[in-house]
Amino acid sequence: MCGIVGYIGKEQSLPILLNGLKALEYRGYDSAGVAIGDKGTITIKKAVGQVKVLESSLATDHPIQGTIGIGHTRWATHGVPNELNAHPHSDCKGRIAVVHNGIIENYKELKTYLENHGHIFRSDTDTEIVPHLIEDFLNKRNNFDSALFDALKMIRGAYALVIMDAENPTTLYATKRSSPLVIGVGNNENFLASDPSALIGKTKDVIYLNDGEVATITSENISVVNIEQQKTSFEIVRLEWDLEQSQKGNFPHFMLKEIFEGPEVVRSTFRGRIKSEDNLVKLGGLDQVRDKLKDTKRILILACGTSYYAGLVGEYLFEEIAGIPTEVHFASEFRYREEPFDEGTIAIVISQSGETADTLAALHKAKEYGLMTLSVVNTVGSTIARESDAGVYNHAGPEIGVASTKSFLSQLTVLVMIAIYFSKDKSKTQLILEELEKIPEKIEKILAQSELLKKLAEKYNHYEHFLFLGRRYNYPVALEGALKLKEISYMHAEGYGAGEMKHGPIAMISPDFPTMAIVPHNSVSEKMMSNLEEIKARKGTLFAIATEGDTTIASLANDVFYIPKTIEPLEPLLTVVPLQLFAYYVGTQRGFDVDKPRNLAKSVTVE
């Protein structure tokens, strides 16, 4: 959940590292630091807070010089956010510098061993044992490569590590296990990052390390070996993202920019994959396993957070459109379940980053059970994409805002297409495809009313509690809307299936506990209206998301936001957009940094 960058080449490394850290700040922003190598020495500078604090502390008349360096933004796991716990960490002599993403599970026993052998620790982190462990082996045999590999063999956990050695001033070392790390290939220069977004504008050619591999990187050469120091092959992959996509443009926040990218994201996700006139969906990522998928009798969807809520929509889609029984599990809980799996069961894992630790662990468990695994991810070459049997990319472009918005829309679009891909009854799919092509234009109509949502947010931003209600396809949207409001405004919000409200949550209803009701005109709208009557009878405040032309809702709700009409399976693609905007405006009006909400990180690579 931290951010890692590295550079080796002919340019001064500090500006490159700082720019990379800014690009990765959404992954962690408790503290930041850099280590720069020059003439056999390593200079380390750290600061608590965002990267701009570190940048200010480095703004002197004599900037740190050096064409090799590593940098880090931290999301605290071990030890409070302070300068001592910030990365990079070093050994006793200051020869070795290390940045680390992940968790070293056996750090306590290693730390005890090292302290008993005279090593002095300065921080409370698990990371600091790495440079000291390498140093300990160096003291025994004085060969850095041997010391590095001996140390790595003793470490257990999930990690991405980038290491500098002052006595090897032209080399960076990198390794990973269950945590992302990518090498950027340049011209007489090379880069490292925990996320490809940090490489945008520098290179589009990257190498994704596999678990257990160790890369030795100079400005002109990259070699990769396994933990036994046997050479392994690697593939250079071309990135699709460009610099413009990763910048805010004229928007005040990435979150708002990414919400407004929603229409184009949906288009990009289905572009070239559907032909509504031929009632056809073509998903190249699934074609290689098409024959095996014909025998699918049950689907498990495994995901976390916003991706889990997309999966809940997928459950309705697969059962209604494809006629396949489907279950959705939190990936973090699935890995601890013990249940029999019948033949014909497949698992679909959903992750925006493709690196989510809990989802990756659930994928591994599904594979251990012998299940066919499919993935829905946005990041090409990510670990989940590479380790699943087949999959579908979102094509949503980089998402910088920590709270997922456009990636949710792309996930929903992919799940609609997969459901149609699986469907054996094509009589019901052509209308869905025809309507899917109209969805981007309908999202644009919603976005054109953003000022209205801004005014409504002003009316509601003083509340401290909010209830979100929906039924059927809009039940998961209620959960997602509540999550967005929690993430961005720190307002307490709960999402519920509207039918469950009377089984407990109705006790909370009061004028000071408003309800966001998702009530488009559909097969369950009459049931929803009955639930809203129950709220109104108890003097609850109602804010409704309703379909254009609905003349009844205005007499019941205090405020109404209208969306275009669509068919029920595609409603979440529209109903979620005003909830995203509402959360954004409430968060900004309450004075918070919505791109970097407290305690959260974009890619959750620890369990």
Closest CA to 479 of 560, 541, 588, 572: 572
Contacts of 167 (CB under 8 A, 6+ apart): 40, 95, 144
The CA distance from 245 to 268, in Å, is 13
In contact, 20 and 33? CB cutoff 8 Å: no
- Buried/exposed 506-535: b ≥16 CB within 10 Å, e otherwise: beebeeebbbbbbbbbbebbeebbebbeeb
Is residue 607 within 8 Å of 508, Cβ to Cβ? no
Q: Quick check: is 297 catalytic?
A: no
| Residues in a beta bridge with 141 | none
Q: Rounded to whole angstroms, how far apart are CA atoms 563 and 147? A: 62
CA-based diameter of the chain, in Å?
Answer: 82
d(CA 279, CA 2): 44
**Cα–Cα dist 493/467, whole Å:** 6
Interior/surface letters 551-571, b for 16+ CB within 10 angstroms, e for the rest: eebeebbbbbbbbbbbebbbb
Distance (Å) of CA 71 to CA 251, 315, 605 = 28, 42, 18
- Alpha-carbon span 372 to 293, nearest angstrom: 8
Name the active-site residue from 2, 45, 46, 176. Answer: 2
Phi and psi, residue 594, nearest 5°: -70, -20
Interatomic CA distance for residues 171 and 298, integer angstroms: 50
* Tokens found for residue 197: 């977004």
Pairing of strands 190-193, 182-185: antiparallel
How many helices (H) and strands (E) would you count in the chain?
20, 26
What is the separation, in whole angstroms, between the first and last Cα of the chain? 10
Provide the CB-side half-sphere exposure for 148 (13 A, CA): 26
Tell me if 509 sits within 8 A of 537, measured CB to CB.
no
The letter for the amino acid at 147 is A
Is 92 a known active-site residue?
Answer: no
Closest listed residue to residue 437, CA positions, set 418, 423, 417, 422:
417
From the candidates 22, 111, 442, 602, which is the catalytic residue?
A: 602
- Residue 590, number of CB atoms within 10 A of its CB: 15
DSSP 510: B
Q: Are 253 and 401 in contact (CB under 8 A)?
A: yes
What does the radius of gyration of the chain's CA atoms come to, in whole angstroms? 25
Cα distances (Å, whole numbers) of residue 449 to 275, 453, 455, 575: 31, 7, 10, 13
The residue type at 416: V
From CA 589, how far away is CA 461, in angstroms rounded? Answer: 7
Catalytic residues: 2, 602
